[in-house]
Amino acid sequence: MAAATLARRIGRSGVAVMKFKSPPVNSLSLEFLTEFSISLEKLENNRACRGVIITSALPKIFSSGLDITEMCGKSIEHYTEFWRAVQEMWLRLYGSNMVTVAAVNGSSPAGGCLIALSCDYRIMAENPKFSIGLNEAQLGIVAPFWFKDTFVNVVGHRIAERSLQLGSLHPAPEAHKLGLVDELVPEEKLMEKAAAVMAQWLALPDHARQLTKTMMRKAVLDRLVAHREEDIKNFISFVSKESIQKSLRMYMEMLKKKKS
Ligand SMILES: CCCCC/C=C\C/C=C\CC/C=C/CC(=O)SCCNC(=O)CCNC(=O)[C@H](O)C(C)(C)COP(=O)(O)OP(=O)(O)OC[C@H]1O[C@@H](n2cnc3c(N)ncnc32)[C@H](O)[C@@H]1OP(=O)(O)O
């Protein structure tokens, strides 16, 4: 891979640590997503690995979500490849047999939030400047049904409905209150806490935990598998609309202006 987006390490405890490292904001480009999926596949196939902690090597940002430039002014072929890579990443992570813990050490909008939601447990740094949520509506786009399903499975229908319609980004304390993250800890304690949670989950026999996880997640995973091609078509037709392209361009401009 051209860019070193991820570092991973499997300790004697059978736990890998994956650190997102794609400056400036760990946006999920096609290359990043491909590398992430391959890394997950390798860990999944490694019998020595029973769990993975996902965090960021960058200060203040866990992941800024899907790389918006991948959805602007590109060809149908590119959109197809990109969206398939997004689907693949989610199918691997949400369907993983490993214990997955997100150590959310920075802001995590949209696709970044999806990664955290797809893990078994979320611990977030208790910094109110860090926020997390599915804010797609704020960009004038719509979270796909499997983003929504993943969200509903974590926080329940009512909270998900309100949060999705408003495209809310919840500061860490609010995210904790809503159940979007399981725990808040001081930033310097995040990895220590993630390791402790991991040890607790790994204390159970793998087969019982894995079968239970499959039972809880299968319906949602199967729904995307059954409608994968249709979902790609929907993405392409949605993102190809001039009105959507305009919204995305304006959002990127707003991000740039914010700096000046
Ligand atoms: C009913 C029919 C339904 C059909 C539906 C079918 C399909 C669905 C269709 C579409 C769904 C698509 C789903 C998308 C999910 C997503 O993930 S969209 C991405 C959402 N992400 C965001 O909104 C985050 C935007 N970024 C920020 O808020 C901030 O950057 C930050 C993360 C909080 C960091 O702030 P900070 O001040 O530290 O940094 P800067 O803002 O200065 O950013 C630095 C640099 O990075 C660029 N950038 C930031 N985020 C992104 C990104 N997501 N993609 C690409 N580039 C990004 C930013 O522009 C700066 O660039 P520079 O000015 O050139 O330095």
- pLDDT tens profile 227-257: 999 999 999 999 999 999 999 999 999 999 9
Q: What is the pLDDT of residue 3?
A: 42
Report if residue 180 sits inside a domain. Answer: yes
Known catalytic residue at 106: no
Contact call for residues 5 and 42 (beta carbons, < 8 A): no
State residue 5's pLDDT score: 54
Categorize the per-residue pLDDT at 2 as very low, low, confident or very high, splitting at 50, 70 and 90. Answer: very low
In a domain, 229, yes or no: no
Per-residue model confidence (pLDDT) at position 7? 62
Is 254 part of a structural domain of the chain?
no
Q: Which residues line ligand 1 (CB under 6 A)?
A: 24-25, 27, 61, 64-69, 107, 109-111, 135-136, 139, 141-142, 144, 234-235, 238-239, 252, 255-256, 259
Hey, how many other C-beta atoms are within 10 angstroms of the C-beta on 84?
A: 18
Model confidence at 85, pLDDT cuts 50, 70, 90, reads very high
Any domain includes 217: no
**Is the model's pLDDT at 193 over the cut of 70?**
yes
pLDDT at residue number 220? 98
The per-residue pLDDT for 4 is: 38
Q: How far is the CA of 28 from the centre of ligand 1 (A)?
A: 9
Instruction: Domain count for the chain, please give it.
Output: 1
Domain that holds residue 125: 6-189+196-202
**Within a domain: 84:** yes
What is the average pLDDT across 69-88? 98
Distance CA 89, CA 227 (A): 16
pLDDT at 64 (0 to 100): 98
pTM confidence score: 0.97
> Residue 93 — very low, low, confident or very high, per pLDDT cuts 50/70/90?
very high
Average pLDDT in the chain: 95
Task: Decide if 66 is catalytic.
Answer: yes
Residue 98 alpha carbon to ligand 1 centre in Å: 29
Check residue 157 and give left, alpha or beta (phi > 0: left; psi -120 to 50: alpha). Answer: alpha
Amino acid found at 65 = G
CATH at 29: 3.90.226.10
Q: What is the mean pLDDT of residues 31-53?
A: 96
Percentage, residues of the chain above pLDDT 70: 97
Residue 36 lies in a domain: yes
In a domain, 182, yes or no: yes
Q: Is 51 a catalytic residue?
A: no
Best residue for ligand 1 mutational test, from 25, 87, 151, 256 (most atoms within 8 Å of Cβ) = 25
The 3 state secondary structure assigned to the chain is: CCCCCEEEEECCCCEEEEEECCCCCCCECHHHHHHHHHHHHHHHCCCCCCEEEEEECCCEECCCCECHHHHCCCCHHHHHHHHHHHHHHHHHHHCCCCEEEEEECEEEECHHHHHHHHCCEEEEECCCCCEEECCHHHHCCCCCHHHHHHHHHHHCHHHHHHHHHHCCCEEHHHHHHHCCCCEEECHHHHHHHHHHHHHHHHCCCHHHHHHHHHHHHHHHHHHHHHCHHHHHHHHHHHHCCHHHHHHHHHHHHHHHHHHC
Of 51, 95, 135, 169, which is the active-site residue? 135
In a domain, 228, yes or no: no
Q: What pLDDT sits at residue 164?
A: 98
Task: Please check the confidence at residue 111 and state whether its pLDDT lies above 80.
Answer: yes
Q: How far apart are CA 175 and CA 160, in angstroms?
A: 12
pLDDT digits (tens, 9 = 90+) for 120-170: 999 999 999 999 999 999 999 999 999 999 999 999 999 999 999 999 999
Q: What percent of the chain has pLDDT over 90?
A: 94
